[in-house]
């Protein structure tokens, strides 16, 4: 029988689409957003309600560089270039910015980087890649590797826990004569301790390095991303488009209450499907490092009216992730979110092939609404024995739903 396998490359951190947002909403408590290299004197509010502060009072290091490109938003228009000789350059998020930072709370920290068509200097390496490091509160976060002249918006996010009432984000050259680091924007977003990811961080003492939050089964003509305010924690959901026969969509409201991670409605109103199986491939992962994957589903096809009609297995590199075949309708019924998470290991080439296989009898094919993938790393400074107190309730408004 010919295979209908379809591969979707998942490892992408660059954002090349417009992030949809609602105009006129106001910013959520605890959001802190720094526009690096900004030339304006103080703050501004973007159309999504997020307030950006200039980094001019936060650092005396580096120089401000304005890009010559037309960019998607004001934050990307400027960057700070750390072209001095220090071994590293740091920003501190502090509570003077109303960030509600307390030790052991949970935060998403995001860095945005875009060299633009006329970067301020030429990379040292002959392959034309800018390379430098990012460090968050003493933990290695990311080896940045971005091509010269690249006009994509590169975003990196990490879920971390501070040790003090502040969070340091540092930029360092790879070696004393390596490339000078640069950055366009830094964001801090509080996370509750109840997400499946943050629960696992508590259990393992690890930080979670975001490799992407993906929305599957989106129309080619509607390549939009979803973020705050539709995503209450301001995760960026990157669209993975599909052709019409591979899409299921609905306008029905999806009940997401039983899913800990509070995915936005929108990403569950579309799904990718293929018969009798499909695969999602990821490459370029860190070999030997534990990865955390979470899949989201909702039975949105009105023709599926009972358990047993859509049943499938999920495996990673041929190892089953589902101990019994998955039947979303049986678990939660129609138009209701369902998720499961697993630890997964890349193969020796740094790849994971996730396959979704129909168990022989059902009439409907496997499907997938959304997925999140993280690399994880033991924190140098956090141990599982130091469990969060309820300190983070300090910010009572940080985790309320956005109205």
Interface with ligand NAG (CB under 6 A):
20, 22, 41-43, 53-54, 56-57, 63, 83-85, 200, 203-204, 220, 226, 230, 241-243, 266, 313, 320, 324-325, 341-343, 357, 359
- For 74, left (φ over 0), alpha (ψ -120 to 50), or beta? alpha
Q: How many CA atoms lie within 13 A of 349 on its CB side?
A: 7
**Among residues 16 and 143, whose Cβ is nearest to ligand NAG?**
16
Instruction: Report which of 170, 147, 179 is spatially closest to residue 83, judged by C-alpha positions.
Output: 179
**Among residues 44 and 148, whose Cβ is nearest to ligand NAG?**
44
**Among residues 199 and 393, whose Cβ is nearest to ligand NAG?**
199
**Among residues 3 and 220, whose Cβ is nearest to ligand NAG?**
220
CB of 192 to ligand NAG, least distance (A): 17
Cα separation, 401 vs 393, whole angstroms = 15
Q: The tokens 């509600």 sit on which residue?
A: 100
CB of 145 to ligand NAG, least distance (A): 22
Q: 90-112 as b/e, with b when 16 or more CB fall inside 10 Å?
A: ebebbeebebbbbbbbbbbbbbb
The terminus-to-terminus CA distance of the chain in angstroms comes to: 50
**Among residues 41 and 176, whose Cβ is nearest to ligand NAG?**
41
**Among residues 66 and 143, whose Cβ is nearest to ligand NAG?**
66
CB of 220 to ligand NAG, least distance (A): 4
Between the alpha carbon of residue 347 and those of residues 5, 210, 323, the distances in Å are 20, 19, 21
CB of 201 to ligand NAG, least distance (A): 9
CB of 227 to ligand NAG, least distance (A): 9
CB of 42 to ligand NAG, least distance (A): 4
Cα separation, 20 vs 172, whole angstroms = 33
């Amino acid at each position: 029988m010919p295979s209908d396998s379809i591969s979707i490359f998942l490892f992408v951190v660059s954002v090349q689409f417009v992030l949809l947002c609602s105009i006129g909403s106001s910013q959520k408590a605890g959001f802190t957003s720094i526009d690096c290299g900004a030339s304006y004197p103080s703050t501004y509010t973007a159309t999504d309600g997020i307030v950006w502060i200039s980094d001019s009072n936060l650092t005396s290091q580096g120089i401000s560089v304005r890009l010559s490109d037309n960019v998607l938003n004001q934050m990307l228009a400027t960057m700070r270039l750390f072209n001095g000789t220090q071994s590293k350059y740091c920003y501190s998020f502090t509570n003077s910015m109303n960030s509600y930072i307390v030790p052991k709370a949970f935060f998403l920290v995001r860095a945005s980087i875009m060299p633009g068509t006329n970067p301020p200097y030429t990379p040292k390496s002959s392959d034309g890649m800018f390379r430098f490091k990012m460090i968050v509160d003493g933990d290695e976060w990311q080896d940045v590797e971005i091509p010269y002249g690249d006009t994509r918006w590169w975003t990196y996010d990490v879920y971390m826990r501070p040790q003090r009432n502040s969070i340091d984000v540092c930029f360092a050259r790879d070696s004393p004569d390596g490339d000078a680091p640069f950055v366009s924007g830094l964001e801090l977003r509080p996370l509750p301790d109840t997400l499946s990811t943050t629960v696992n961080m508590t259990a393992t003492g690890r930080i979670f390095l975001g490799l992407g939050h993906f929305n599957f089964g989106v129309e080619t003509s509607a390549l939009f991303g979803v973020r705050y305010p539709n995503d209450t924690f301001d995760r960026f959901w990157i669209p993975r488009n599909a052709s019409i026969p591979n899409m299921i969509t609905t306008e029905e409201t999806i009940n997401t209450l039983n899913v800990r991670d509070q995915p936005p409605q929108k990403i569950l109103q579309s799904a990718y499907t293929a018969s009798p199986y499909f695969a999602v491939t990821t490459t370029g992962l860190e070999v030997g490092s534990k990865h955390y994957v979470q899949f989201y589903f909702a039975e949105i096809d009105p023709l599926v009216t009972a358990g047993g009609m859509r049943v499938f297995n999920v495996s990673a590199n041929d190892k089953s992730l589902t101990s019994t075949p998955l039947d979303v309708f049986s678990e939660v019924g129609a138009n209701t979110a369902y998720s499961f998470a697993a630890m997964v290991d890349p193969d020796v080439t740094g790849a994971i092939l996730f396959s979704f296989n129909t168990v022989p009898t059902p009439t409907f094919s496997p499907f997938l609404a959304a997925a999140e993938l993280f690399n994880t790393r033991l924190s140098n400074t956090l141990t599982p024995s130091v469990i969060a107190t309820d300190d983070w309730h300090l910010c009572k408004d940080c985790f309320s739903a956005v109205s």
